Structure 1
Amino acid sequence: MHIRGISEAAIDQATPGFGIAFQPIVDVGGRRILAQEALVRGLGGGPAAGVLNRVEGGQRFGLEIAIARHALARAVALGIGTDVHVNVSPGVLLHAPDVLGAIAAVAEAERFPLARLVLEVTEGERIDDPPRLRQAVEAARRLGIRIAIDDFGAGYNGLSLLAEVQPDIIKIDMTLTRGIDLHRVRRSIVAGILRMVEPMGLRVIAEGVESVGELGCLHALGITEMQGFLFAHPIYERAPAERELRLPFGTMPSGPTRLEPIVAAPAP
């Protein structure tokens, strides 16, 4: 089988053994799971670096297509009915030939709807051609795929990238959300980001939420979509079950609070 100019054998050759862990993205206001992020892991659940660091630069395209294929195949097999977020590096998205076509072909082969696919582009890696990234975002939208800028606020590109590209989603990096309830400057920065993106109509997700205090502060600032260990750790080769997720009950008080399960959003 060939996927838009790259053979399955070439993908397999470029791919050291790996698996996928899923971590939910939660709508705390609507008390539901909005999406699952597919995170690459070593076989048995080892760290992602053990996979990515063993791949030569020229093999990265094959690896990322293989990761997307496995992530979407597992999402279908597990019956995940929400969006699925898959990571793609800026270098591959901008410079590999027809990477969007290859990902679309993988989704079609695995019978995963493109309307539920979100590609996360990390801001932690320098993006050397923002106009080209804007073209990629527009091409993705034509296919029905959405683009998220991951690790927003911690990378090389910042506000200039946002002005040039205007993605569908930004994910605020954990360096800004961690301990935000105890850190006035971080609160001010995140509040400023929210004021800035509101006229653009972008969705905002807070990453790395680990405490009820962080949750309450972020919610008070107006963020309702969050991801982090407070809700669920990534689980190797399966999506966290509804009974395994916890969300503080009712409003977001500053003191101790009762926990109760949250439920998955229905499939669109």
Structure 2
Amino acid sequence: MRKICSGCRDGVDFEIPFAMAFQPIVDTLTGKPFAYEALIRGTDGAGAASILSRVTDANRYSFDQACRVKAIESAMSAGIMADDARLSINFLPNAVYSPLACIQLTLRTAKAVGMPTDRLIFEFTENEQMGSPEHVASIIETYQQIGFSTAIDDFGAGYSGLDMFARFRPDEIKLDMELVRGIDTDRRRQAIVRAVVQMCADLETLLIAEGIETADEAATLRRLGVRYHQGFWYARPALKRLPQLNPACLLRAA
């Protein structure tokens, strides 16, 4: 337990250098970024796999802590406070042994750089290996009490999505890109997303579609009632900076 506690306390035990890239989540009603997702990259811009492949059971706790610190500090350096966009950070539920204890470094970092807690979103994937559902529910409840928003990423990619949605009560869900890909020509995907839109409206849950790559996908999702979009059509992730939105996507949304 001493090693785990050390990793959660300072996050410095993760010695592999890495950087953060940022991709906007766009509010298509306003044409402005609602949030930026922090995405782990190598310091040379290499994909996430170059870092994630080196995460082990021994350094998992310090890795999770280091990612939170790097995301907050990098977003502040990139100028995220210039508007009211939020910061979305991925986290590993199985790297949180005590929700309140393991969040302390995050809180200290946010306070030190002037990041309001209500502008932080913590997302975890439906496919993430995790401990008991009760433990994950405890993490989400603790984060929401602190003032963070929580999100289930890759919703619809696994077999347990609806069960997780009912059990954990996240503030947001992010549609998996496999439901988004080619949705403009796929009636089955359209019917599924239409039902998810209604479900989220009934449960007062914000819905984000990710992995949007074309104007037609974006237009179809807007027509189905999905307001918040993320994907290459709007902007590719930018290393250590906040990317500019694709002007074409703003013209289409107008």
**TM-score (ref. length: structure 2):** 0.90
Q: 2:228 aligns with which of 217, 225, 229?
A: 225
User: Shift of the alpha carbon at 1:248?
Assistant: 4.3
After superposition, the C-alpha distances for 1:66-117 in whole angstroms (9 at most, x for unaligned) are: 1111111111122202100010022124667832233223322333211110
Q: 2:186 aligns with which of 178, 183, 205?
A: 183
Change (3 A) 1:159 1:7: closer
- Give the equivalent residue in structure 2 for 1:247: 249
User: Shift of the alpha carbon at 1:7?
Assistant: 6.0
- Which amino acid is the alignment partner of residue 69 of structure 2? R
Provide the C-alpha distance between the structure 2 equivalents of 1:211 and 1:38, rounded to a whole number of angstroms.
22
- Give the equivalent residue in structure 1 for 2:105: 102
User: Shift of the alpha carbon at 1:33?
Assistant: 1.0
User: Shift of the alpha carbon at 1:9?
Assistant: 9.6
2:121 is the counterpart of 1:141: no
- Secondary structure at the aligned position of 1:98 is classed as helix
Gap regions ≥5 residues in structure 1: 253-268
- Give the equivalent residue in structure 1 for 2:17: 17
- Give the equivalent residue in structure 2 for 1:27: 27
After superposition, the C-alpha distances for 1:165-201 in whole angstroms (9 at most, x for unaligned) are: 1100000010000110111111111111112222110
The answer (yes or no) to whether the contact 1:42–1:48 under 8 Å persists in 2 is yes
- Give the equivalent residue in structure 2 for 1:206: 209
- Give the equivalent residue in structure 2 for 1:41: 41
Change (3 A) 1:7 1:163: closer
Provide the C-alpha distance between the structure 2 equivalents of 1:188 and 1:157, rounded to a whole number of angstroms.
19
Greater Cα shift, 208-217 or 130-139: 130-139
Greater Cα shift, 187-196 or 226-235: 187-196
Change (3 A) 1:215 1:89: same
Q: Which residues in structure 2 correspond to 1:49-198 (within 5 Å)?
A: 49-81=49-81, 82-93=85-96, 98-198=101-201
Provide the C-alpha distance between the structure 1 equivalents of 2:191 and 2:164, rounded to a whole number of angstroms.
21
Provide the C-alpha distance between the structure 2 equivalents of 1:110 and 1:33, rounded to a whole number of angstroms.
21
Provide the C-alpha distance between the structure 2 equivalents of 1:120 and 1:156, rounded to a whole number of angstroms.
18
Provide the C-alpha distance between the structure 2 equivalents of 1:89 and 1:156, rounded to a whole number of angstroms.
19
Provide the C-alpha distance between the structure 2 equivalents of 1:87 and 1:189, rounded to a whole number of angstroms.
26
Change (3 A) 1:203 1:89: same
User: Shift of the alpha carbon at 1:61?
Assistant: 1.3
Coordinate RMSD, CA, aligned: 2.2
**TM-score (ref. length: structure 1):** 0.85
Provide the C-alpha distance between the structure 1 equivalents of 2:128 and 2:252, rounded to a whole number of angstroms.
38
Gap regions ≥5 residues in structure 2: none
User: Shift of the alpha carbon at 1:251?
Assistant: 5.4
* Identical counterparts, % of pairs: 34
Provide the C-alpha distance between the structure 2 equivalents of 1:103 and 1:29, rounded to a whole number of angstroms.
31
**Pairs aligned (count):** 248
